[in-house]
Amino acid sequence: MKRVKKVILAPNPYRDKDFHTVRDAVKILQHSGLETRLCLPFEVDRNFTLPRDLRFSRLERELPTADLIVCFGGDGTILHMSKTATRAGIPILGVNIGTMGFMAELENTELEQLKRLAAGDYTLDSRMMLDITVHRDRNIIYHDICLNDVVITKGAVARIVHLAVQCDGIQAMEFGGDGVIVATPTGSTAYSLSAGGPMVEPEANGILVTPICAHDVASRCIVASDKRVITVELTQNARRNAYLSADGGKALRMEMGDQAIIKKSALETRLIRLKDRSFYDVVNVKIRNCR
């Protein structure tokens, strides 16, 4: 693979306490002859104090000349960074400082593996993304991409929300419940799994549609082809708004008659791999650690 020269390190300050892990990573990478830049993956609270001995740069300033991004945190940190990195055409390497960390390649005890980046000793794993557009009447009110899932829920309101789901314009299910999850294979081990959906290999081609606590026993998870266009609409008997969120980001309030059009994105997130292990190796370790 391409030899790496410049690396952006993006630590989650709420996970990497006092930035201990990223400090160790900087030493390893610089000792290997790599140029490093520290960038926060998101804005921190105003009352959060950054250490004075670390110099942080702005992500948009460093992206044009960077070869890759190393994220330090849980899967949420990787998800947050995936959109920016993918649009910039830069791969991501995840270092897990969270709990599950399905997408992370390294644990925080395996930082010595970072030395291999300088020699180009790594592979790239392409992950499918979803493209989401929300239509209200004839207007587009929302557009985004995501790596894990699109979730449409009732929010904090106690009553159920009524949804109709179509595949290529043909109705697949209609139900009342807490909502629906439309996920990629990567997202199959996240919220969709908790809602009763199957585990799907990340390399598989498909779109998962998983109802959340449906009040209709006939409504079950569907694994559709990645060529399908999924439409989710609040039906006319919906008595409350629903809320749409992509990869756990800021929620959009949907109104009755709004349509969320979800399909495979033309963009793919590229994850860096340093270890020769299968999806099932990862699942076995992560699930066992949660017991």
Beta strand segments in the chain, E: 6-11, 35-38, 68-73, 92-96, 106-107, 123-136, 139-146, 149-153, 161-167, 170-177, 179-183, 207-212, 222-224, 230-234, 242-246, 252-254, 259-273
| β-sheet bridge partners, residue 268 | 128
Give SS3 for 75: helix
Report the alpha-carbon distance of residue 200 to residue 148 in Å, rounded. Answer: 12
Selection from 65, 68, 47, 109 nearest residue 269 by Cα: 68
- Residue of 24, 53, 67, 75 marked active site: 75
Q: Which residue has the tokens 């998870």?
A: 221
The per-residue DSSP string of 51-107 comes to: PTTS-B--HHHHGGG-SEEEEEESHHHHHHHHHHHHHHT--EEEEE-SS--SS-SEE
**Using alpha carbons only, what angle is made at residue 47 by residues 44 and 53, rounded to the nearest 5 degrees?**
75
258 is catalytic: no
126: left (phi over 0), alpha (psi -120 to 50) or beta: beta
Report the alpha-carbon distance of residue 179 to residue 242 in Å, rounded. Answer: 8
Selection from 229, 265, 222, 227 nearest residue 246 by Cα: 265
Structure tokens at 232: 């989710």
- 81 close to 41: Cβ distance less than 8 angstroms: yes
Would you please indicate which residues are annotated as catalytic (active-site) residues?
Answer: 75
